Structures are given as structure tokens and as C-alpha cells.
Amino acid sequence: MTYFLQQLINGLQLGFVYALIALGYTMVYGIVRLINFAHGDVFMVGAYLGFFALTSWHLSFPIAILLAMVGCALLGMFIERVAYKPLRNAARISALITAIGVSLFLEYFTSLKFVFGPYFRAYPRPFAIKTYELGGVTISNIQIIVFGVAILLMLALTLFVNYTKTGLAMRAVSFDHSTARLMGINVDNIISLTFGIGAALAGAGGVLYGIAYPQIHPFMGIMPGLKAFVAAVLGGIGIIPGAMLGAVIMGVVEKLTEVYISSTLRDAAAFGILIIVLLVRPAGLLGKKEGEKV
């Protein structure tokens, strides 16, 4: 039982990192209906920014996270402006293809030797690892930090979206672009902001991933990116609590499969759950079924 609880906590740790990435996917999809394939690579850039902040520039851990968030936010908004905005009125598939292009570009450009380099790097631990016992279950300070930062950011996002004027504008834009524009909302700025916030969360996720699973390389974003996206779909894409729920389920299922069944089947279990959920609830766990318009 304690072993199970222990693995549950490890799964939650993974789930919270996924959640930070999934939020970016879900917000962007909710607002422009685009599967932003480059999001996983923004997460990777965030991990690297944190890495350089901690090693080369000797900054403290909170500053490193902040730096990664700001850097990724700028990157996210830049990508939106250059690659997605010109295609906003084209077929959705064109924007998806440019997203794939941006993703490939980020991966291969950052693996050039003078950028990040193609090799694995060991992530620095900004502090010594301590473990605490709680009724037979051990929990490390790294895990506490991952949970703490993730919950703090998700709480901040929820408050922002639900209780500020800008948050209201975001919800309005996600509902209907042209009506929102009629109401005097600057739709372009809101979309830009959404990309920025999503990318900032992914950047924080990257640093947390770095300290929790201490190895990074330029292609590290692909799998967590896909899983986070799947988590967003699992919870109901476009719905912020859904992304968190889906990500936590994804992380826990993955960890439990790895421990109890086989580590090679870990990815199959995660995607298997997705297919089953989609068949039963096509709009995701928290999604509402949309009626067909005739």
C-alpha cells in the first residue's frame, strides 16, 4: 500500500509537469483552434534557459524559473506573430503544418553546436536533496517544489482567467472572435497574450522537469509535448481544469503502468486510455457535448 502511494506521488509529480504544458495547449486551442505542435519545443527551450541561468549565470532558482518564463513568453509571442498570424484566415491545416515546421526548426536549430548542442546535459540541482517521511511514504523537497510551483501557477492562471478584465476578454475571444471584436476587444493582442501565457507556463514546466528528471537535450520536448497535448484532449480541450485533470491522470497512469506492468508499455497505456475516453466521451472528460447544427 505504501509502495502504491509512493508511486502515486511519483505519478503526480509527472502529471503536474504535464499539466503546465497542457495548459498552454488547451488555451491556444481554445482560442484559435490550433494544435500548436511547437509547444513541446518551447518547453525544451524553457528547460535550457533555466539550465543556463543556473550554471552559466549563477542565478538563484526562483530567478531561473522567472527567466525561463519570460524568455518562453517572448518566444511564444514571436512564433505566433511570425508563423501563425498570417495564416489565421487560411485553412486550419496550413497553420498546423507551419506549427510542425516551427517545431522541427526549434529542435534542429537548438541542436546546432553553437546554440545548445546536440548532446544530453546533466541538469544542476540548485539545492541538496532532502527527503521527508510521511507515514512510510517518502517525499523529496524536489517533489514539494514541483507540486508547489505548479499549483501556484495554475491557481494564478485560474484567478487571472476568471477574475480579471483581460481574462474575461480571453474567454470572450475563445467564444467568438468577431463578436469579441465588436465589443471593443483587441483580438490580436489577446491571442498574442494567450500564446505568451501558455509559453510561460511551459517554460516553468521545463525548469521543473529539468530538476525532477535531471537530463535535457534538444529533442526532449517531443514526448512530453505530445503527452501533454493528449492530456488536454483527455480532459476536454479548451477547458483549463480539464487540462489539469487530464495531465494528472496521464502522469499517474504512466507511472503505475511502468511500475506494475512494464516500462515498455508505458506509452501504450497512456494512449490506450485516451482512445477509450474519446470513444465514450468524444469531447473529453470535462467537455460538453456539442449538438449538431443542421
Partner 1 sequence: MKRFSSGIVALLILIACFVVVEVLILTGVINPYVQTILSYAGIVVISALGLNLIYGYTGQFSLGHAAFYGIGAYVSALITRAIPNIGFLVLPLGLIGGALSAGVIAFLIGLPILRLKSDYLGIATLGFGMIMNVLFKNSDKVIPVMGGAAGMRGIVKLTTFPWVFFLVVIACIVLRNLIFSGVGRALLSIREDELAAEAVGINTTRYKTLGFVIGCMFAGVAGGLYAHLYTYLNPDNFDFLKSIDVLLIVVIGGMGSISGTVLAGFGWAILLEGLRVVLPSAVQEWRMVVYPLLLIIFMLVRPYGAMGGTEFGFLKPTEYRRG
- Judged by CB, which is closer to partner 1: 56, or 89? 89
Are 36 and 28 within 8 A, CB to CB? yes
- Residue 261 touches partner 1, criterion: CB under 8 A: no
Tell how strand 121-122 and strand 137-140 pair up. unpaired
Cα–Cα distances in angstroms (integers) from residue 50 to residues 11, 13, 59, 78, 265, in the given order: 23, 19, 9, 19, 31
**For partner 1, the closer CB: 51 or 84:** 84
Does 113 bind partner 1 (CB under 8 A)? Our answer is yes
Of the candidate residues 57, 127, 175, 271, the single one contacting partner 1 (CB under 8 A): 271
Report DSSP state, residue 30: H
Question: Could you tell me where the DSSP H helices lie in the chain?
Answer: 2-32, 39-55, 61-79, 92-110, 141-163, 165-175, 177-182, 187-212, 222-235, 240-260, 266-280
Nearest to partner 1 of 122, 275 (CB atom): 275
Q: Single out the residue of 9, 35, 216, 245 in contact with partner 1 (rule: CB under 8 A).
A: 35
Angle, helices 92-110/39-55, rounded to nearest 10 degrees = 30
Minimum CB separation of residue 229 from partner 1 in Å reads 8
C-alpha to C-alpha distance for 230 and 214, rounded to whole angstroms: 24
Whole-number Å distance between alpha carbons of 166 and 192: 12
Among residues 42 and 208, whose Cβ is nearest to partner 1? 42
Q: Which of 62, 86, 136, 148 binds partner 1 (CB under 8 A)?
A: 86
Query: Contact letters (x/-) for partner 1, 210-249, by CB under 8 A?
Result: ----------------x--xx--x---x------------
Q: List residues near partner 1 by CB under 8 A.
A: 33, 35, 83, 86-87, 90-91, 93-94, 97-98, 100-105, 108-109, 111-113, 118, 226, 229-230, 233, 237, 264-265, 267-268, 271-272, 274-275, 278-279, 282-283, 292, 294
